[in-house]
Amino acid sequence: MCSSELMSAQHSKVVPWMRKTQYISSEFNRFGVAADRQEIKVGYNLTKNKENLNLFRDRQSQINLIKKSFEDCKTPIRKHFSKKGVTAIEEVPILPDFELWKYPFALVQFDTDPAPAGYSQELCDSMVTQSHIKGMQDDDGEQFVAYFIPTVETLQKKLTDREEGRNYTEGTVYEHILNREYTWTVKNKNTKGFERDNYFVYYKDGIFHYNELETKVRLARRRRAGHDKVRYSALS
């Protein structure tokens, strides 16, 4: 093949990811390859290279594929798929929360840290983890969300219960004090734009359990006007 024929062959070769410059002139049609033809060639080459492509279009093929995925799960995977030298040291199953799935759960988001001021960090953490919220109504008929935290005495009672291996003591009053008041915004599956498939995971008895978050509640702090009297909530 002469040099002119070789150059012509290379010039006519289509490189899918590269397009020749198109000039706006009377000779415009002499340059470039139409974009649609490029896409056709790219699609053709991809399909041609995938000789073992199986689309599983019929129902039985899909069933067989699903069954195979269960069998594949039994094969232990020790090496990381992309990080060389990273290996698994333990396998822990993750299962639906069969025990608590029947109960609805909500994610409550505070606008600011709800921890009370004037206490040590350790004590604040204990108060927040053992706090509770409650829907209430003020003297003007306005509804709000009350945020109660346990008193120091209540924390001590609960610590004693835990050390002695019980959840609570019969007849004991566990007092909580109103710390803040909030207005609320609720979003759930029926709300337009709500992000579905929200889950939380926790570890118990050697297994990870997951459960669904059906509702999101956004709390915004409101001013406590007209009822500055300290309120208490007694749990017994």
Please list, in sequence order, all residues whose beta carbon lies within 8 angstroms of the beta carbon of residue 222, skipping any fewer than 6 positions away. 144, 181, 182, 183
Q: Tens of pLDDT along 187-215?
A: 988 888 777 788 999 999 899 999 999 89
Q: Looking at the predicted structure, is the pLDDT value of residue 6 above 50? A: yes
pLDDT at 223: 78
Measured CA angle at 173 (ends 176, 107), to 5 deg: 40
Report phi then psi at 85, rounded to 5: 90, -10
pTM, to two decimals: 0.58
Q: What is the number of other CB atoms lying within 10 angstroms of the CB of residue 196?
A: 7
pLDDT at 31: 47
Q: Looking at the predicted structure, is the pLDDT value of residue 49 above 80? A: no
Average pLDDT over residues 84-94: 89
- Are the CB atoms for 150 and 174 separated by under 8 Å? yes
Instruction: Write out the two tokens for 42.
Output: 């790219």
Q: Looking at the predicted structure, is the pLDDT value of residue 90 above 70? A: yes
Residue with tokens 């306005």: 142
